[in-house]
Structure 1
Amino acid sequence: MIVALLNQKGGVGKTTLALHLAGQWAAEGKRVILIDADPQGSALDWSQQRSREGLPRLFGVVGLARDTLHREAPELARDADHVVIDGPPRVAGLMRSALLAADLVLIPVQPSPLDGWASAEMLALLTEARIYRPELIARFVLNRCGARTVITRETAETLADHDPPLLSATIGQRAAFADLAQSGRLVFEAEHDSMAAREIAAFAAKVGRLAP
């Protein structure tokens, strides 16, 4: 399965979710490759930092920030159980290529009306991709949620009746994600039974059930 995390709005947590999704599946014994399709190369930087820290490699990270992604990703998928694409912000050609490569698209959004409005362009690209890939599955993912806040509840309610629908697993606003990223670690490596680790495990399980 090829899963792409995409949103034209930056700063919604695509890279964090992509790394943790790949890491969770790898920890469960799956063969995983992560494609860094963001010209900023944040996932590649994370992988290099992990190597400098002497930490074991959980999964391969490949830089493919080019619009031939839809031809190259399926080749990589032959040697993996899952391929996870960390998509670019605001690069339409790359975004289209990632959409054509994917079996499943996850659109991370934060609990904010502004994130919903910013997703309109992303949804237009998704609609365009479905002309060529009518079987393409997509879900919104509510990320960086404050506990029991009104805006989180309202955003979830707004997306509940949306197409694509909202993934039922959400990710909280937790400092551990940013703190650990600096050393190339994932949350389940620091504290396996933390709330952040449990949320990631639930997220990966939900995504896995969407496999075509």
Structure 2
Amino acid sequence: MIVALLNQKGGVGKTTLALHLAGEWARRGRRVTLVDADPQGSALDWSQQRSRDGAPRLFGVVGLARDTLHREAPELARDADHVVIDGPPRVAGLMRSALLAADLVLIPVQPSPFDGWASAEMLALLNEARIYRPQLAARFVLNRCGARTLIARETAETLADHDPPVLSATVGQRVVFAEAAQSGRLAGEIDDDSPASREIAALAAEIDRLSIATVAP
């Protein structure tokens, strides 16, 4: 299965979610490849930091920040249970290629009306991709939110009636994610019993259930 984390708005946590989903699936014994399709190369930087520190390799990270991604990603998927694409901000050709490569698109948004408005262009590209890929599944993911805050609840309620809908699992604004990004580690490696680790596990489990439902006859 190819899962792409995409949003033309920067700073919504695509790389953090991509790395942690890849790590969670790898921890469960899956074969995982992460495709860094962001020209900034943050996932590649994370992987290199991890290698410098001598940490064990959990999954492969490949840089493919080019608009031939939809032709190359299926080749990677032949040798993996999951391919996770960390998408680019505001690179339309590359974004279209990632959409055409994916089986499931996850659109991370923060609990703010501004993020909802900024997603409009992303949704237009998604609808365009569905002309060629009618079965392309997509979901919003609430990220960097306080689950009990009013704005998080209001954002979830607004997206509940939206197409695409929002996943039930949410991910909070956690200091450990910043620590993980700097150290080449994952939140679960720093503290396996942390709220961040539990949230990522719940998110991965919901995506697994969604993927089973998507491919079911």
Task: State the partner residue of 1:6.
Answer: 6
CA distance in 2, matches of 1:69, 1:147: 35
Asked if 1 retains the 8 angstrom alpha-carbon contact of 2:77 and 2:83, the reply is yes
Alpha-carbon displacement from aligned partner over 1:61-99 (angstroms, at most 9, x marks no partner): 000000000000000000000000000000000000000
Once the two structures are superposed, what CA deviation does each residue of 1:108-137 show, in whole Å capped at 9, x if it has no partner? Answer: 000000000000000000000000000000
The within-5 A match list for 1:1-212 is: 1-211=1-211, 212=215
When normalised by structure 2's length, the TM-score is 0.97
Q: How many residues align?
A: 212
For the Cα contact (< 8 Å) 2:147–2:153, is it kept in 1? no
How far off is 1:179 after superposition? 1.4
Whichever residue aligns with residue 63 of structure 1, its letter is G
* Structure 1: runs of 5 or more not aligned: none
Distance 2:209 2:13 in 1: 22
CA distance in 2, matches of 1:86, 1:182: 17
Root-mean-square deviation (Å): 0.6
Superposition deviation, residue 147 in structure 1: 3.9
Aligned AA (1:155): T
Q: Per the alignment, in what secondary structure is the counterpart of residue 4 of structure 2? A: strand
Ranges in structure 2 where 5+ consecutive residues have no aligned partner: none
Whole-angstrom distance in 1 between the partners of 2:85 and 2:209: 18
Mapped partners of 2:7, 2:147: distance in 1: 23
One-letter identity of the residue aligned with 2:148: R
| More moved, 138-147 vs 122-131 | 138-147
